[in-house]
Amino acid sequence: DMQSKALNYGSHHELLELVESKLVGSNVNNVSAETLLQLEKHLETALSVTRAKKTELMLKLVENLKEKEKLLKEENQVLASQMEKNHHVGAEAEMEISPAGQISDNLPVTLPLLN
């Protein structure tokens, strides 16, 4: 219904031209009540069409942002699991026991000092 009304009234530029043609050529005091009512109806319809289009665009934007949020959350979970995995691997490497029975800090094995 709104689309058919939008097609009937065209662009806002055309609507402004309609208003100007009704009002500019004559004194505002000489404009009939019916002409003013018609203009009011045209303006209300144009406003309704504009609001409907704005709402549609805003809903699409919200939907796109929700999808982007979902993708970012998934990526965040993947990165968090990778960090957790790397943390466990690093902790296991730090806790390796060297052949001498001591805990190694992943330092290269050196020969004992001679006295």
CB 1 within 8 A of CB 28: no
For the purposes of burial, counting CB atoms within 10 Å of the CB of 49, is it exposed (0-12), middle (13-18) or buried (19 or more)? Answer: buried
Q: What is the pLDDT of residue 83?
A: 92
pTM to 2 decimals? 0.51
Q: Tokens representing 87?
A: 């943390």
Q: How far apart are CA 38 and CA 15, in angstroms?
A: 12
Confidence of residue 114 (pLDDT cuts 50, 70, 90): low
The predicted-structure confidence for 11-27, as pLDDT tens digits, reads as follows 666 766 766 666 665 56
Comparing CA positions, the residue from 44, 36, 4, 2 lying closest to residue 19 is 36
Q: What is the mean pLDDT of the chain?
A: 76
Percent of the chain past pLDDT 70, that is, above it, reads 56
62-77 per-position pLDDT tens digit: 999 999 999 999 999 9
Q: How confident is the model at residue 90 (pLDDT cuts 50, 70, 90)?
A: confident
**Mean predicted confidence (pLDDT) in 5-14:** 61
Task: Please name which of 41, 21, 23 lies closest in space to residue 32, comparing C-alpha atoms.
Answer: 23
Residue 99 has pLDDT above 70, yes or no: no
